[in-house]
Amino acid sequence: MIRMDAEDKTKTNSGPAHVLTMEDWDVSAIHALLEKAQYFADNPEKLPLQRLYAANLFFEPSTRTKISFEAAERNLGLDLLHFEADTSSVIKGESLYDTVKTLESIGADVVVIRHGRERFFDELRGHVNIPIINGGDGCGHHPTQSFLDLLTIRQEFGTFTNVNIVIAGDIYHSRVARSNLEVLERLGANVYVSGPKEWMSDELLQRYLPMDEAVEAADVMMMLRIQHERHTVKMVAGPDEYHKRFGLNEEKAARMKPGAVIMHPAPVNRNVELADALVESGRSRIFKQMKNGVFVRMAVLHYVLEKQKGWLDQ
């Protein structure tokens, strides 16, 4: 290891060696420091520890997705660069592209991004050299949420073929839910929808089941979160009324088939789309979904880094 000149190069001759201003550094001390920096640049393999870095860029509130990615990253042994949107240069107007390029330059090996702008990734794909994982783009996509739903269903039934899945709630305004519908159908499941008819397109109405029929047909009741903030006008029914007409309550749950399960992406509006008592009932897989969220995110991270680095295969 290259040693710095042993003399203290700062004006303060006792105490710790602060680094405060350039004026404190004489020419030989500057050269010694540059030598050391160049040594670090030239000898990556001699760093005390060799790390892979993930940066999680969450421009919108999240508990479960952000922490779940963090747990997945740490479980795989990845290290974190802690990006905080609200104290970053983004508030000085820096673009998402420049922010990601910056993180790439600093050493991020993978970035996870949640952003309010739909398809935020279109300006990045093809222009950055590290993998981007979509942690949710506005009302658009949320692939790791889909993967965790899929894993939960597969664990339950061992297959997707002919599994009856009812997606209930505001599926029309949720592209995530429609994306789930599409992928479940591709995988062989029978997918139905339920909930307020005024929230359905004509296409969706072709697979519509009234709630009373839905609970009896379903192997999986996928309840959607009512996003109050987006429905002040539309939601003619209040929460109690909604719960009674379109929510899943204990009486309806009792009529579900043996082995049928309840799923929900959480956070649950208790006693709106789902009765409080059902959240942790035997039929519920809601907390299982959260556990599975960590495993699918590990798999997704592993997938992109394996391609990028041949990582874990050495």
194-253: contacts with a second copy (CB under 8 A) = none
Sheet with 190-194, edge to edge strand ranges = 190-194, 164-168, 220-223, 261-263
We find the least distance from the C-beta atom of residue 263 to a second copy, in angstroms, to be 14
147 touches a second copy (CB under 8 A): yes
We find the least distance from the C-beta atom of residue 197 to a second copy, in angstroms, to be 26
Closer residue to a second copy, CB minimum distance, 211 or 283 = 283
Whether 114 and 142 have beta carbons less than 8 Å apart is answered as no
Alpha-carbon distances of 75 from 45, 149, 291, 302, 314, rounded to whole Å = 23, 20, 13, 11, 18
Residue 62 CB neighbour total at 10 angstroms: 15
We find the least distance from the C-beta atom of residue 40 to a second copy, in angstroms, to be 5
171 touches a second copy (CB under 8 A): no
d(CA 132, CA 134) in angstroms, rounded, equals 6
Closer residue to a second copy, CB minimum distance, 76 or 211 = 76
Closer residue to a second copy, CB minimum distance, 22 or 254 = 22
Beta bridge partners of 164: 190
Please check if 175 is assigned to a binding site. Answer: yes
Which tokens hold the place of 173? 């305004």
49 touches a second copy (CB under 8 A): yes
Please check if 178 is assigned to a binding site. Answer: no
8 touches a second copy (CB under 8 A): yes
Restricting to residues 255-294, name those near a second copy by CB under 8 A: 266-268, 287-288, 290-294
Residue 165 C-alpha from the chain's centroid: 23
Please check if 108 is assigned to a binding site. Answer: no
From 189-197, 232-240, 249-257, 297-305, give the range in contact with a second copy by CB under 8 A. Answer: 297-305
- What's the angle, vertex CA 187, arms to CA 186 and CA 192, rounded to 5? 75
* Neighbour-count burial for 252-269, b at 16+ CB within 10 Å, e otherwise: bbeebeeebbbbbbeebb
Closer residue to a second copy, CB minimum distance, 62 or 190 = 62
Site string for a second copy, 78-117 (x = CB under 8 A): -xxxxx-xxxxxxxxxx---xx-xxxxxxx----------
Among 96, 128, 139, 217, binds a second copy (CB under 8 A): 128
Closer residue to a second copy, CB minimum distance, 67 or 237 = 67
Cβ neighbours of residue 260 under 8 Å, at least 6 residues apart?
Answer: 218, 219, 220, 221, 283
Among 54, 115, 131, 278, binds a second copy (CB under 8 A): 131
Cβ neighbours of residue 77 under 8 Å, at least 6 residues apart?
Answer: 52
- Three-state SS sequence of 96-156: HHHHHHHHHHHCCCEEEEEECCCCHHHHCCCCCCCCEEEEEECCCCCHHHHHHHHHHHHHH
We find the least distance from the C-beta atom of residue 219 to a second copy, in angstroms, to be 17
Residues comprising the binding site? 64-65, 92, 114, 142, 145, 175, 225, 266-267
Residues comprising the binding site for L-aspartate? 92, 175, 225
Residues comprising the binding site for carbamoyl phosphate? 64-65, 114, 142, 145, 266-267
